[in-house]
């Protein structure tokens, strides 16, 4: 399942707030009229807002067809925490992920299966149950972009492939995003992405910024394709610089490999 790279939302923060007038003096000491710079164009503002995420701490949520997730990114410690619930083949499962610093990652998977009296299923459930301490390389190989919980996700790369951006209301912008070049926002699976064809290159998107020019939400309208129905995918950001640092699970809850 292709999922957004929900991981460490990293940042730089360079926003040029236009509109600050500056008085100057012209001959004879008489003040000249104040000049005001033009507001930055939508693409520049959104790019700056995304870059801000790279050094920010915040909560995030993701709501898409067949998948919901919530978590936090803590920039000072380069850590993040994520809980995702999804469905595959009609079966709901849950993945918990904690990433601490550059190397340590902990994962817990609940497939939502009752093993009953079947010893094989009991062994399977026991093997998956509890927290596992894994390398990021191992997690990425098994869970793809979901496990890329470093500084690769929810930062500047989230706005890659966005075009035609226009401000349709204060701090609200509409345009399109090319999911074939932006895997961070791709919440489809491989089959659906292929069925979308050229439509995947121009998915309608609405981006909102908060009062401090930080990303507040991203909403994509993905059309029906193949066996998938039309869907709305929403990512929100909140509680900037108010989140607690994620912690590793208690040692007695971590399974030995």
Distance CA 107, CA 99 (A): 9
Query: What does the pLDDT read at residue 125?
Result: 63
Query: What does the pLDDT read at residue 18?
Result: 27
pLDDT tens profile 176-232? 999 999 877 877 778 888 999 999 999 999 999 999 999 999 999 999 998 889 999
Reported confidence tier of residue 21, pLDDT bands at 50, 70, 90: very low
Reported confidence tier of residue 257, pLDDT bands at 50, 70, 90: low
Mean pLDDT of the chain: 77
Greater confidence (114 vs 214) lies with 214
Distance CA 111, CA 28 (A): 79
Please, what are the domains in the chain?
46-238 (2.50.20)
| Lowest mean per-residue pLDDT among 46-60, 84-98, 125-139, 233-247 | 125-139
Whole-prediction pTM:
0.76
pLDDT tens profile 120-129? 666 666 666 6
What's the rounded mean pLDDT across residues 144-164? 68
Nearest to 11 by CA among 168, 157, 129: 157
Maximum average pLDDT range among 19-28, 48-57, 122-131, 162-171: 162-171
Is the pLDDT at 115 greater than 80? The verdict is no
Nearest to 237 by CA among 18, 69, 95, 42: 69
Q: Which residues pair with residue 225 across a beta bridge?
A: 228
Region of 90 please: left (phi>0), alpha (psi -120 to 50) or beta: left
Is the pLDDT at 12 greater than 70? The verdict is no
pLDDT tens profile 61-78? 999 887 899 999 998 888
């Amino acid at each position: 399942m292709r999922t957004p790279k929900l991981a460490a939302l990293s940042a730089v923060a360079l926003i040029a707030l236009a509109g600050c007038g500056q008085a100057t003096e012209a001959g004879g000491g008489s003040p000249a009229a104040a000049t005001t710079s033009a507001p930055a164009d939508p693409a520049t503002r959104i790019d700056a807002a995304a870059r801000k995420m790279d050094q920010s701490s915040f909560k995030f949520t993701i709501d898409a067809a067949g998948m919901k997730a919530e978590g936090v990114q803590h920039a000072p410690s380069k850590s993040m925490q994520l809980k995702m619930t999804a469905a595959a083949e009609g079966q709901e499962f849950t993945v918990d992920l904690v990433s601490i610093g550059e190397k340590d990652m902990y994962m817990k998977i609940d497939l939502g299966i009752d093993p009953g009296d079947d010893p094989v299923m009991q062994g399977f459930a026991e093997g998956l149950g509890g927290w596992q301490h894994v390398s990021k390389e191992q997690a990425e190989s098994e869970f793809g972009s979901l496990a890329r919980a470093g500084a690769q996700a929810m930062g500047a790369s989230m706005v890659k492939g966005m075009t035609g951006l226009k401000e349709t209301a204060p701090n609200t912008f509409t345009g399109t995003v090319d999911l074939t070049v932006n895997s961070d926002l791709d919440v489809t699976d491989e089959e659906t992405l292929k069925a979308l064809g050229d439509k995947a290159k121009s998915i309608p998107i609405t981006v909102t910024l908060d009062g401090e020019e930080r990303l507040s939400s991203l909403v994509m309208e993905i059309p029906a394709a193949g066996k998938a129905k039309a869907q709305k995918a929403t990512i929100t950001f909140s509680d900037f610089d108010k989140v607690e640092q994620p912690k590793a699970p208690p040692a007695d809850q971590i399974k030995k490999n």
